[in-house]
Every structure is written in structure tokens, then in C-alpha cells.
A = this chain, B = another copy of it.
């Protein structure tokens, strides 16, 4: 009897790097469900029309995806997994197009700007900004322009039956995007914890008094808990006050983390645990 497929929402077109994150974390049987915006993706999971959502949260070159931090606070959808995808850009053409015919290269402006060495070496090629990386390959496959290529993922070439003419044309090889997998409910702890351990993500606010953030972080530091990331976002409705998003190593079932959270609750005005998940960065 076939089991129900695991439907996972992502923002973008089929072939997006977010779909690669879904494959990487959940394997080839999970079904990637495209959404036009980040908000629509969170909304689809909240409404139960999908079983999960793959959310890009930060990139080594561009920093955090701040909009998604705001959605994490607003929606009550726990983080249950983490993975990090190397962003490899490839020059992709329709199957029957010769390299010598290419005059224009379509892609998202960010991707075009990450392949400047390639364009410097090929001054005859015109960069054409497009709304999406994978979407530009979809357009090639559908409209079959006779002089155009696209820059996108290996998966995008595969999805739309196109051919990779040149692999890995990005300037900076240290280009990674970190993703959170969200579900509607957190799963129970497995009997055997994963080898690399767990991470916990949370968000808090502090009273606007001197030393407040330092005291909040002391709840972790005094217990030797390893802080991986801190991100500040504006606290709407307050002037120059902030929400702090923190990722650290440990699971909320561990006594040390439990003590740290109870200490943090003492010094924070608001505290929300966003999820515990096997480390995957």
C-alpha cells in the first residue's frame, strides 16, 4: 500500500535551491510544493495544506533572511530540522542550443551578481535580470529562445530537461544557505539522539535597561552553552527596542538547557522557544 507523500512547501519555482534542501534533508520521496512568497509558504503550513515548510534563514554572503525571522515569531510552527546547501550556479541551455549561439543570460539579479568573473571572461554575454533562478530555466524550456541561457541549480536543469553547459560558475565557493524545516507539531525525541547533537532556537525581548542583553546571554554562557548565532530585529510598537533570535547547541530536555531557559525567563520580558532540531549546518 503506498504511503501518503510528505508534502513540503518552499518559496520559488521547481528546481529552486530550497527544493535541493528538501531532497537533502528528507530524501527523494518528499514532494516539493512551490509557493509564490514566504508568507504564502508559512500560511500553507499553518492551514495544513502541506506537511512541512523549508525556510531559508541565512546565507554566508548576504546574511539573514529577515522576513523569515519575523514569520517565525508570528506563526506557531516549530523548527524540527536544519540543513545547509552549497549554492552552485551553472550555465544552463535548452538541450539543442549550441554554446556559440548564446548572447543573453537570464537569472535572478543576485545570481547574476555572484558570477561576475564568468561575465568578465565572456564580455559578449548580456546579463538579463529575471524573477527567479529556476524560473529562468523554466522559461528557456517553455519559450525556447534561440540565443539565451540561464544561471540556476543542477536540479533546475534536471527538472526542465535542459543541459548544463558549464558547472559552478559562481565567484565565491563559500556560498551556503542555511534552511529550517518547519512542521505543525514537534516530533517526540528519538530514543537515540543524533551524533552531532541538537540545536535550540528561541526569541526573547529584554527590559530596556543597561546590561539587559548581557544578563540574558549570561544564562547561556555561565552554563558553557555554545551560542551559534544571535540576530536582532526591531520590536514593532517600540522605538529602538529589539527582539533577539538566538541559536545554541543543546536540547530543551537536557537539565543544563532547562536551567538556562528558566534563568533566561527570569531576565527576559518575553521568551519563545522556536524549536529543537538535530544539528545540520
Point out residues on A near B: beta carbons under 8 Å. 58-64, 66, 172, 174, 176, 178, 210-211, 213-215, 217-218, 220-221, 224-234, 236-240, 242, 281
Contacts and interface: CB of A to CB of B under 8 A. Distances in A.
Contacts of A62: 234
Copies of the protein in its oligomer: 2
A230 B232 contact: yes
Contacts of A178: 240
Contacts of A174: 236-239
Given A236-B61, A239-B174, A281-B240, A213 B231 contact: no
A59 B226 CA distance: 31
A62 B234 CA distance: 7
Most chain B CB atoms below 10 A, which of A58, A224, A225, A240: A240
Contacts of A218: 214
B211 A214 contact: no
A242 B220 contact: no
A214 B246 CA distance: 13
A234 to B, nearest CB: 5
Contacts of A233: 63
Contacts of A238: 60, 174
22 contacts: A58-B234, A59-B234, A61-B234, A61-B236, A62-B234, A63-B66, A63-B232, A174-B237, A174-B238, A174-B239, A176-B240, A178-B240, A210-B224, A211-B221, A211-B224, A214-B217, A214-B220, A214-B227, A217-B217, A229-B242, A230-B230, A240-B281
A178 B239 CA distance: 10
A63 B227 CA distance: 22
